Chain A
Amino acid sequence: EAAVTQSPRNKVAVTGGKVTLSCNQTNNHNNMYWYRQDTGHGLRLIHYSYGAGSTEKGDIPDGYKASRPSQENFSLILELATPSQTSVYFCASGDLGGRGEQYFGPGTRLTVL
């Protein structure tokens, strides 16, 4: 069965600190995505990737970096965390060039104090 895991599941960070959220998929999918979910906004796309070594900006990339060192792993990096980045973050993988269904991880709840 397709599987996407995220770590950590919960994170408390301080303003100005660096935060790295990790995502691993065992689906061998080319595409991976990072979203954040806030009340009233649904899911908003931060960064995505077509494959190892590639990253693309989504709709709200400011304040975030992404890294795709391998087919399986996709990280989201907050170099200088701010309270406005408090949210729930979801990673997903998908194939068929973005036309296929996505498989979502369980989410990471990030609180920036």
Chain B
Amino acid sequence: AQSVTQPDARVTVSEGASLQLRCKYSYSGTPYLFWYVQYPRQGLQLLLKYYSGDPVVQGVNGFEAEFSKSNSSFHLRKASVHWSDSAVYFCVLSVNNNNAPRFGAGTKLSVKP
């Protein structure tokens, strides 16, 4: 069965620091991977997606993620976080036609001023 694990339920960093949010997936075939962000009391918005090709994908607001097939990972990174990045981040795996996407449990990011 396909699954996604986000091992860190909460992450706290200082403003201006670098960030990595971890995501591990379980699937033997070709994954389609996404990161979404949820700001307080809002729906989810797409940050970035990976289908194929260059393993490093760029997203909005300076976020990027790196796909690693050997590690079954899709970690999210940002070089310098801003207080407005405080939100919950979800890693999502899709596998093939008409199978519903699998969500990680989410990582709540708090950025200290």
Chain B residues with CB under 8 A of A94: 101
Q: Out of B43, B49, B51, B96, which one reaches A90, CB within 8 Å? A: B43
Q: How many residues of B contact A (CB 8 A)?
A: 25
Chain A residues contacting B79 (CB-CB under 8 Å) are none
Contact A105 B43 (CB under 8 A): yes
Q: Which residues on the B side are within 8 Å of A106 (C-beta)?
A: 42-43
Interface of B is mostly: loop
Q: Mark A15-32, 1 if CB is under 8 A from B, else 0.
A: 000000000000000010
The one of A44, A50, A102, A107 in contact with B101, judged by C-beta atoms closer than 8 angstroms, is A102
What is the size category of the interface that chain A forms with chain B? 20 to 34
Assess the A98–B43 pair: CB atoms within 8 A: no
For B49, what are the chain A residues with a Cβ–Cβ distance below 8 Å? 101
Chain B residues close to A by CB (< 8 Å): 32, 34, 36, 41-46, 49, 51, 90, 92, 94-101, 103-106
- Interface, chain A (partner B; CB < 8 A): 4, 31, 33, 35, 40-45, 48, 50, 56, 58, 90, 92, 94, 97-102, 104-107
